[in-house]
Homo-oligomer: A and B are copies of this chain.
């Protein structure tokens, strides 16, 4: 059986990374998609595992060939998700996570090539989210203010997602996400007119 493509987005400071890390160790048959990027590898990053590191002209050719499910430019570097790569993983029966922001999610949802299910993780409150960003201790007050403003803006995309998971406790959020993944394996996929795409064979 083909796997599911799962978009996971969350405003920064929501605890997404912690949730996904715990989730991946709890459930089998799931993988992250490996993005293509034009930026240089950082120390310890491996080609094909952390990213597919490609030259700018290759990336631009892939873009022109409509090879990306979604792509974006961030600080002068390009990042993209290859359709071929994801299709191969889905055909292997793997559930593929796309850890992308609301703009990327919009591109993926509008794709006619691949069906996806989307999950938006939200913090229990703005106060809690500010506390989490402060606790990280990595950002200045100004950066935190900027992140919070961005988070509020991203929240306005939440209604477009299939599922909303509130991260009020790590265990509950992981259980909700795990349940969504398992439930999606039993969900009947439908074509454009609402007709089921396939039925499991009965012998």
Contacts and interface: CB of A to CB of B under 8 A. Distances in A.
A162 B182 contact: no
A11 to B, nearest CB: 10
A195 B187 CA distance: 21
Interface string A159-176: 101111110000000011
Given A125-B202, A200-B122, A180 B186 contact: yes
A130 to B, nearest CB: 12
A199 interface: yes
Interface residues of A, number: 34
A155 interface: yes
A64 interface: no
Interface in A143-199: 155, 158-159, 161-166, 175-176, 178-188, 195-196, 199
Contacts of A127: 203
A172 B126 CA distance: 38
Given A178-B179, A196-B159, A186 B203 contact: no
Contact of A182 (B126, B159, B176, B186): B176
Most buried by B among A126, A166, A176, A183: A183
B126 A164 contact: no
Given A163-B188, A176-B183, A183-B184, 15 more contacts: A123-B202, A125-B202, A125-B203, A126-B203, A158-B199, A163-B183, A163-B187, A164-B186, A176-B182, A176-B185, A178-B179, A179-B179, A179-B181, A179-B182, A180-B186
8 contacts: A122-B200, A161-B188, A164-B199, A176-B183, A179-B182, A179-B186, A180-B183, A180-B186
